[in-house]
């Protein structure tokens, strides 16, 4: 217990804070996570031999727009919207000239359509005025575009340009990183830093897609299918979730 003064000389007693982990403990934990992640990736690559984004696109700009639309929306829904959308607005310049209300109606079914329409028109205008209609291929430039954060930039860089500048942390990666004990954080940027520290850089391009595929098929948000999981022996949450859902048919 520790004491500190309050007011005019009065003292209150508080519980002492928990001692932080030692340097040796942190080093052991890091090495354990590095070892486990290599095994996890090896197994997931066999299970999902063709990791790629589920979004349909033909150009980096189409992927950029589709990824923005996919926020808080399923990829399947986005893939139903984008064919007609890209026929109506076939170029970056066409999106830059789009009327806000009209574009909102075009993408309404993807949710958050007002903010998404504003971002798409804004980034299209910036691409036309500053990049000649070309999508930049660096993290620094992409995150300066309206509506583009690191997750979106990472997906565009990895899929459209085959560049590994980070790891996209979406809802699946966020969930599985916690369950697999790869990160203790909830903030996407902090999770990404943890993952970049343990995932070999040669696997950065595919890592998001591997976890997304596994999250959709097995490690689902509400009812993970733990008995069917190919990485259950490497998952610290396996026993807990197995007991929790043992009664599920």
Q: Which residues are catalytic?
A: 151, 170
CA distance linking residue 126 with residue 129, whole number of Å: 5
DSSP reduced 3-state for 4: strand
Residue matched to tokens 């992409």: 142
Query: CB of 204 within 8 A of CB of 158?
Result: yes
- CA dihedral for 67, 73, 79, 85, sign (positive or negative): negative
> Which residues are registered as beta bridge partners of 11?
5
Query: CB of 12 within 8 A of CB of 3?
Result: yes
Residue 215: CB partners within 8 Å, gap ≥ 6? Answer: 172, 173, 175, 176, 221
CA distance linking residue 149 with residue 156, whole number of Å: 11
Residue matched to tokens 């300066």: 144
**How far, CA to CA in Å, does 8 sit from each of 2, 13, 14, 132?**
18, 15, 18, 67
């Amino acid at each position: 217990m520790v004491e500190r003064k309050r007011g005019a000389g009065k003292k209150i007693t508080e519980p002492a804070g928990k001692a932080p982990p030692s340097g040796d403990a942190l080093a052991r934990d890091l090495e354990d996570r590095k070892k486990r992640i290599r095994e996890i990736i090896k197994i997931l690559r066999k299970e999902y031999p063709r990791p790629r984004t589920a979004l349909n696109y033909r150009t980096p700009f189409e992927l950029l727009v589709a990824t923005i639309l996919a926020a808080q929306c399923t990829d399947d829904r986005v893939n139903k919207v984008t064919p007609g959308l890209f026929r109506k607005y076939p170029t970056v310049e066409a999106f830059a000239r789009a009327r806000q209300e009209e574009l909102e109606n075009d993408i309404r079914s993807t949710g958050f359509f007002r903010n998404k329409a504003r971002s798409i028109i804004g980034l299209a205008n910036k691409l036309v005025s500053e990049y000649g209609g070309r999508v930049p291929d660096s993290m620094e430039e992409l995150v300066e575009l309206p509506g583009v954060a690191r997750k979106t930039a990472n997906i565009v860089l990895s899929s459209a340009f085959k560049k590994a500048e980070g790891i996209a942390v979406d809802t699946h990666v966020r969930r599985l990183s916690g369950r697999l004990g790869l990160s203790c954080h909830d903030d996407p940027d902090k999770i990404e830093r943890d993952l970049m520290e343990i995932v070999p850089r040669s696997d950065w391009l595919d890592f998001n897609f591997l976890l997304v595929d596994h999250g959709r098929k097995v490690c689902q948000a509400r009812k993970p299918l733990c008995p069917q999981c190919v990485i259950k022996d490497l998952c610290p949450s396996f026993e807990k979730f197995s007991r929790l859902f043992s009664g599920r048919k």
